[in-house]
Structure 1
Amino acid sequence: MSTAENNIPFGIYGQSFDRFDFPSMYAYRNVLSQAAFVYCRDGESLKFLKENKFRTPVLEFGPDGCFGINVRDEEKGLVYLKKSGLETQKFLAVVILTNTPYANRRSNAIDLVKSVAELQEQDNERMAKIRAMITNWVRDTGLKVLLAPEVIKEIETAKSFLYDQLPDDVKANVVWRDTFWNVDEAMSVYARAHTIFGMEPHSLIMGLTLGVPILHAWPPSHGRKAWMFRDIGLPDWLVQVDESSANDWTKQLRLIHQDYAGAKKKVATSMDFVHQRQASTMQVIDKAIQNRQKTSRQ
């Protein structure tokens, strides 16, 4: 028996929707229209569901669940920072995403139109731009860079694509993280970053929760979820990775650096909105749970 048939409330929180392959649209629309709530983490997904006539009673914007992370491992984080020579607000964290590992990658609608050679070339072009951005950052600001992993497969690629190919004067100011970490240690390190540049969104979300400015160079294969940063009030810090240049990224990072207090205020304003939405959405979820409890006692 389904939750709907048993009058058990259910819902989806902080989700993006890019497509429903035929004929699954009909099934999903039927099921999700019976949900107590559906919260989309970006406005484009919300628009997509509404245009396709999803009739969920509460169909609204709700922040990605990663905005709720609040764990820290200060002991490990501070030890790592000291060992790496990274000082508070004196380093840029860089998080990359590549198409590796090619041999084991799973095909999806984006990959099907590209050969392995094309995906490799795409990596080469993107990483060349990131190397140029890192070089500009180090030489312009005199500050350091941390190559930080969001997923374990990018540890070695960060070394081969970025660290190993940087000019010697720049490399001397770049730290390559050669081991993976738990989110609590990452949070303690990111809390001391000046800014976080990333192709993956969740390290950036973690940074925002800590009050750290970000710049998201998003790949089209990620779909609609990148728009969450626009929708919480940070459109200037959102760029499509293939349609922007290293100079574009350098310009945004320079603007953040030149008015760092203003950038921090911008983060605080966006997080005020996130917190407001979190509080509002939790009230709806709590009400659904309470109504179910009352029904069960009757």
Structure 2
Amino acid sequence: MYTRRHFLTQSPALLALLAGLPALANTRKKTILLRSSWQTVNIGDIGHTPGVITLIEKYIPEANVILWPSSVDNGVKEMLQQRFPKVRIVQTEAEITAAITESDFLVHGSGPSLVARKDVERWAATGKPYGIYGITFPGYYGEPSESQKAMLPTEVALLTGAKFAYFRDSISLDFARNNGVTSPVMGFAPDGAFAVDLTNEAAADAFMQQHGLEKGKFLCVIPRQRYTPYWEIPSKNRPLDEKRNDRNQEMREHDNAPIREAIIAIARQTTMKLLICPEDETQVKLGKEILLDKLPEDVKPKVVWRDRYWLTDEALSTYRRSAGLFGLEMHSPIMCIGHGVPAIVGRFAEQSSKGVMWKDIGLGEWLFDMDVPGDVQKIGPAALAMAKDPAAAKRTARKGQAFVQQKQRETMGVLRKALG
């Protein structure tokens, strides 16, 4: 009997024709080009990238990912390749051009602004779709320059042309809407660094053992100045910014003294130890000068100062072993909450609006504005309360974590749909 199966098996030409039909051709794996990795002197800027890749891996496992970075030096490239061996990293112009041709969709990763505006423009010229995932907008640190103001219409047009435009804080979302951004999908998306899952267990264990730190029995502390003093980082090769340096000197005791007082209270009133650690390279020295060296002698034995910068994997492995974190930085708290670890944020105007995301994810009680006298007085007691009742702090952290994870599912669903 001449059956349908017999017909197909005897018709290789027909099988080849069927394989070429659009319905079948569209089953090929789509490729996402991730524009991210802004710099490597800050563990948070490093963290944006592995966070977003982890989300794509989790929610869109059928997609390929190519990373188009600004910087992956200082061991970051190797760290990413170890965690994501299937992700291709393109750096030369030839590699980038080929990746643009090959990819189906571009995602501009989390960052302090539309960092890669020119590269999004380049992609948009291809006519292929793109999306913006979790940025602060416009992201000015202080008053915008004339060149920044001039670029705003272009940025508004690029955001409007995106399949989705997600912002990592509500102030940025409102600014975008009020300034003419009309992307089909606009909303809040958690900073990509919430999803980082890099680990370096061996390094964290060795450091903790060396300094007598026990799991769940220490808190991490991070100092900060109003502006990151990039002129102190040799690899940046930047001249001294006298205006910003003057502002740093004016405010660094005002901002960090409450953090120091919290260390003293925790050391004297609880059994917790404290680890002074950096989020960026310049905070190693700052931690010693503004926190450690000014502590009373009876407190110093309970305080550990990390005397060198670390990468995101070792930092996160250490944070996960702690009872929580407090200070004046943003992305170490982000990574903590992503893993259900309590984290208190102190912010100020020079950091842009990104700190507001703590209210947006339901952790307003752990957000303190160092430009508001009442908040300055409250950050220390909040840190002490975290140290005294770790279980309650953990419950609060998990509340924020659950909100973030729900938003991650929703926003990755939008990306998956946009891929087609």
TM-score normalised to the size of structure 2? 0.64
SS at match of 1:54: coil
Deviations 1:217-268 (A, max 9, x none): 1121111100111101100000012324664122212333344322212211
Q: Are 1:166 and 2:286 counterparts?
A: no
Q: CA deviation at 1:275?
A: 0.9
Q: For the Cα contact (< 8 Å) 2:370–2:376, is it kept in 1?
A: no
Q: For the Cα contact (< 8 Å) 2:368–2:376, is it kept in 1?
A: no
Partner of 1:124: 253
Q: For the Cα contact (< 8 Å) 2:262–2:384, is it kept in 1?
A: no
1:162-201 mapped onto 2 (5 Å cutoff): 162-201=291-330
Deviations 1:195-215 (A, max 9, x none): 201211111111112221111
Deviations 1:129-152 (A, max 9, x none): 222121111111132110011111
Partner of 2:218: 91
Measured in 1, the distance between the counterparts of 2:369 and 2:320 equals 25
Q: CA deviation at 1:190?
A: 0.6
Q: Are 1:219 and 2:364 counterparts?
A: no
Distance 1:100 1:271, change over 3 A: closer
Alignment: residue pair count? 286
Partner of 2:276: 147
Q: For the Cα contact (< 8 Å) 1:145–1:173, is it kept in 2?
A: yes
Q: For the Cα contact (< 8 Å) 1:138–1:144, is it kept in 2?
A: yes
Q: Are 1:242 and 2:362 counterparts?
A: no
Q: For the Cα contact (< 8 Å) 1:133–1:246, is it kept in 2?
A: no
Measured in 2, the distance between the counterparts of 1:28 and 1:102 equals 26
Partner of 2:387: 257
Distance 1:226 1:118, change over 3 A: closer
Could you tell me the percent identity over the aligned residues? 36
Worse-superposed segment, 248-257 or 172-181 = 248-257
Partner of 1:294: none
Q: Which runs of 5+ in 2 are unaligned?
A: 1-120
Q: Which amino acid aligns with 2:126?
A: N
Q: Which amino acid aligns with 1:46?
A: L
Measured in 2, the distance between the counterparts of 1:63 and 1:100 equals 23
Q: For the Cα contact (< 8 Å) 1:152–1:180, is it kept in 2?
A: yes
Aligned partner (choices 166, 178, 181) of residue 54 of structure 1? 181
Partner of 1:282: 412
Distance 1:165 1:56, change over 3 A: same
SS at match of 1:262: helix
Q: Which amino acid aligns with 1:13?
A: Y
Q: CA deviation at 1:2?
A: 4.6
Q: For the Cα contact (< 8 Å) 2:258–2:379, is it kept in 1?
A: no
Partner of 2:170: 43
Distance 1:70 1:252, change over 3 A: same
